[in-house]
Amino acid sequence: MSWRPSADAGAFSCTAELYPESVVQIEGAAAESYIGNIPGGNDAPPNFVTAPDEEIRTKLARWDSEFEVIHASFTDD
């Protein structure tokens, strides 16, 4: 997978080339990017082969997981 973001002349674009032979392209007037920590994120993941679905779901990050921002970037920076 390759990920190519760019900000030029007041516009943001990002192209992600995925496997197999898929491309996602996003364009907009602005963008924000965040890097951070999720508590427990360094723990070993559940065993996706043997663990029950409920255990897998509870041990993975979700959109509502706690998140500590350590870096943020904006296209107007």
Report the alpha-carbon distance of residue 42 to residue 5 in Å, rounded: 26
pTM for this one?
0.50
> Domain check: are 36 and 22 in the same one?
no
pLDDT exceeds cutoff 60 at 77: no
- Side chain identity at 52, as an amino acid letter? P
CB-CB contact of 48 with 75 (8 Å): no
29-75 per-position pLDDT tens digit: 878 888 999 888 888 888 999 999 999 988 888 888 899 999 988 87
Domain range holding 20? 1-30
> Domain check: are 35 and 16 in the same one?
no
Domain count, the chain: 2
> Domain check: are 35 and 8 in the same one?
no
> Domain check: are 20 and 39 in the same one?
no
> Domain check: are 26 and 40 in the same one?
no
> Domain check: are 43 and 56 in the same one?
yes
1-35 per-position pLDDT tens digit: 677 778 777 788 888 888 778 888 888 887 888 89
> Domain check: are 42 and 69 in the same one?
yes
